[in-house]
Chains A and B, each alone.
Chain A
């Protein structure tokens, strides 16, 4: 019996800046219910790979497919299935924390928005800050809000760029627990990380980029 095709399939990915190949001949599979981590020193190309996969950057060569369909970040279907938390996340200066999460959930037509959003707010520990505007949050709280925005909406693959950044110990424990739950629910997880503890707790397959 043929094995199920991977949720995310990357073949021959190459990204060249000037004369330098930051990533070359990169292949990757992420299956549903599995987590893959990209590790490596600073500048090894982890974020570049994630940016090419999510369509934030255009690869010089190679293909990226989500469930057999070429990833085009302009497609609403791809945006619906791909939940991305990268460093370029910013927020509306005039909407509160809870209004951001409500907006994302409503845009994704989530049923019972308030219940879902309240549960995620509770999980990320931002209930006391729910009426605050993002500009007044600490960097760790902004990171939690960015992560929360990925959890209030439907998704099939979660792509996270160094999600451990600016999180305290309790936040890291919560994140590991949450990502394990995502896997158990049959979702794919792809993350770039420097945190060995998080990688060991969550990840099934580690790809070291050098």
Chain B
């Protein structure tokens, strides 16, 4: 009996097939890549120049006690956000994953799984290290760190990001909720730090601008942790079950397809669907009112079933207060609108499903606007209440506003966020049956590029009166405009 093939042999065979189909030699490909290299160098140097200018400008403008404290704390908050995002993305994709083809052909073969997954572990770890380090370097520069401190901060943050990926791999192999708990814990700590910053109870950290032995110690600890967790992850690679490797591999082409059409709402659909697929069963809630109110009642059931859809806007309320504390003035209007819009997306899953599925809409004996209005009732209450809760921040940040006007502005911003969410959720995907226009990406439908601005366009329209007119008049005009836009969106086909 012949011995089973090794991963190296199978990979060599696949490489041989691929090279047989190559149309360019390596030299020709490098020759063609000069534009990409040139563009990367040029854009990179422009980016670095912008960052250095921003560093100088923020150093000159940030003079108040609140601003300097925030500037000192910001790198640490950012590092926390980076780790939370790293954990979230790693959990979303696995982090170890295999393509459907490899899942079918190689995972079922008697080959060593760690050899198969090692390149993926190395690639994912390198990506986390490089991206995490680069972003930390940017933030360290903006915070006014010295060159040595920037390097130490960037490398230690990068090592922690690497550690995050490798430890999530260990959890993927062994199972259990550790990665999920860690994500919420880190996010909760970052949120608590922001709250403390807003309430001015956060002690100002010792100045970190100069490189010190503490930085060296941090570097050593982060490095040891990263290497140790990477070794542990490599040892655990053969233990990862196939059913934990293939979902991430299926998710990648789905998200790639959605990104290729610049359809962000489709990405939302994919992620929501994946989340509920993982849950598989729920405790059914029966009963409730009749008619359109049945849809409202189901949204209330959703809130109970998925409390994070309310927890996220509730936690995000701290963002406008942080903006007010940093003294961003009129910019707070855009910050509140944008935060409400992004935090409110999770509330409108019913509206999204009914908008994209005509078959489901046909099952309901109601006018289209009635169905949409019913699915907006709960999000409207949450977002208007959310907007009203930002009134003290508006009162503090925008000069000359009475409390009454501040509440009007805050309510208008809550309604603006709701309208932007409705625009985002009810928009049709790009229609490839319509005339196409020529572009460097090939022929694309005219609505393709506009789909990226969807939601943000309405938000800008509704925030503009608040920026251009007096707060009281601006709030009134914004509310009237919101009413017009919402009426159109509720009735559109």
In this assembly, does A80 line the interface, its C-beta being within 8 Å of a C-beta of chain B? yes
A133-B291 in contact (CB<8A):
no
In this assembly, does B22 line the interface, its C-beta being within 8 Å of a C-beta of chain A? no
On chain A, the residues within 8 Å of B277 by CB distance are: 93, 133, 135-136
| A91 to B363 Cα, complex, angstroms | 11
A 132-154 to B, binary, CB cutoff 8 A, 1 in contact else 0: 11011000000000000100010
A104-B276 in contact (CB<8A):
no
| A107 to B284 Cα, complex, angstroms | 17
A98-B276 in contact (CB<8A):
no
B287-A107 in contact (CB<8A):
no
On chain A, the residues within 8 Å of B360 by CB distance are: 89-92
| A13 to B305 Cα, complex, angstroms | 47
On chain B, the residues within 8 Å of A104 by CB distance are: 363-364
In this assembly, does B368 line the interface, its C-beta being within 8 Å of a C-beta of chain A? yes
On chain A, the residues within 8 Å of B298 by CB distance are: 92, 95, 99, 103
A80-B281 in contact (CB<8A):
no
In this assembly, does A4 line the interface, its C-beta being within 8 Å of a C-beta of chain B? no
A76-B367 in contact (CB<8A):
yes
B 267-302 to A, binary, CB cutoff 8 A, 1 in contact else 0: 000001101110111111111111110110010011
B358-A88 in contact (CB<8A):
yes
B295-A103 in contact (CB<8A):
yes
In this assembly, does B205 line the interface, its C-beta being within 8 Å of a C-beta of chain A? no
Closest to B364 in A: A107
On chain B, the residues within 8 Å of A80 by CB distance are: 365
B 252-278 to A, binary, CB cutoff 8 A, 1 in contact else 0: 000000000000000000001101110
On chain A, the residues within 8 Å of B358 by CB distance are: 56, 88
Of B286, B290, B301, which is within 8 A of A107 by CB? Answer: B290
| A128 to B272 Cα, complex, angstroms | 24
Of A54, A108, A131, which is within 8 A of B362 by CB? Answer: A54
With contacts A89-B360, A96-B282 taken as known, whether A79 is within 8 angstroms of B366 at the C-beta atoms is: yes
On chain A, the residues within 8 Å of B280 by CB distance are: 132-133, 135-136
B276-A93 in contact (CB<8A):
yes
Of B273, B286, B289, B359, which is within 8 A of A135 by CB? Answer: B273
In this assembly, does A187 line the interface, its C-beta being within 8 Å of a C-beta of chain B? no
| A76 to B365 Cα, complex, angstroms | 5
| A120 to B285 Cα, complex, angstroms | 18
In this assembly, does B349 line the interface, its C-beta being within 8 Å of a C-beta of chain A? yes
A74-B367 in contact (CB<8A):
yes
A94-B306 in contact (CB<8A):
yes
A133-B285 in contact (CB<8A):
no
B284-A96 in contact (CB<8A):
yes
Distance from B317 Cβ to chain A, minimum over Cβ atoms (Å): 25
In this assembly, does B350 line the interface, its C-beta being within 8 Å of a C-beta of chain A? yes
In this assembly, does B224 line the interface, its C-beta being within 8 Å of a C-beta of chain A? no
Distance from A114 Cβ to chain B, minimum over Cβ atoms (Å): 6
Task: Give the size range of B's interface with the partner.
Answer: 35 or more
With contacts A99-B301, A104-B363 taken as known, whether A131 is within 8 angstroms of B281 at the C-beta atoms is: yes
| A103 to B290 Cα, complex, angstroms | 9
With contacts A79-B366, A96-B284 taken as known, whether A109 is within 8 angstroms of B353 at the C-beta atoms is: no
A106-B294 in contact (CB<8A):
yes
A128-182 contacts to B, CB under 8 A, are 130-133, 135-136, 149, 153
A135-B281 in contact (CB<8A):
no
In this assembly, does B357 line the interface, its C-beta being within 8 Å of a C-beta of chain A? yes
On chain B, the residues within 8 Å of A189 by CB distance are: none
B365-A98 in contact (CB<8A):
no
B286-A94 in contact (CB<8A):
no
On chain A, the residues within 8 Å of B275 by CB distance are: 93
On chain B, the residues within 8 Å of A153 by CB distance are: 363, 365
B291-A107 in contact (CB<8A):
yes
In this assembly, does A66 line the interface, its C-beta being within 8 Å of a C-beta of chain B? no
| A108 to B305 Cα, complex, angstroms | 24
In this assembly, does A10 line the interface, its C-beta being within 8 Å of a C-beta of chain B? no
A93-B273 in contact (CB<8A):
yes
A42-85 contacts to B, CB under 8 A, are 54-56, 73-74, 76-77, 79-80, 82, 84
28 contacts between A and B (CB under 8 A): A56-B358, A74-B367, A74-B368, A82-B362, A88-B359, A89-B357, A89-B360, A90-B353, A91-B353, A91-B360, A92-B298, A92-B350, A93-B273, A93-B277, A94-B306, A95-B298, A96-B281, A98-B286, A99-B285, A102-B294, A106-B294, A107-B295, A107-B365, A131-B283, A133-B276, A136-B277, A136-B280, A153-B363
User: Measuring CB to CB, which residues of chain A are less than 8 angstroms from any residue of chain B?
Assistant: 54-56, 73-74, 76-77, 79-80, 82, 84, 86, 88-96, 98-99, 102-104, 106-110, 113-114, 130-133, 135-136, 149, 153
User: Measuring CB to CB, which residues of chain B are less than 8 angstroms from any residue of chain A?
Assistant: 272-273, 275-277, 279-292, 294-295, 298, 301-302, 305-306, 349-350, 353, 356-360, 362-368, 370
Apart from A86-B359, A114-B287, what 19 extra A-B contacts exist at CB < 8 Å?
A: A76-B365, A79-B365, A82-B362, A90-B359, A90-B360, A91-B353, A92-B353, A92-B360, A93-B273, A94-B276, A94-B282, A99-B301, A106-B290, A107-B365, A113-B286, A132-B281, A135-B276, A136-B281, A149-B363
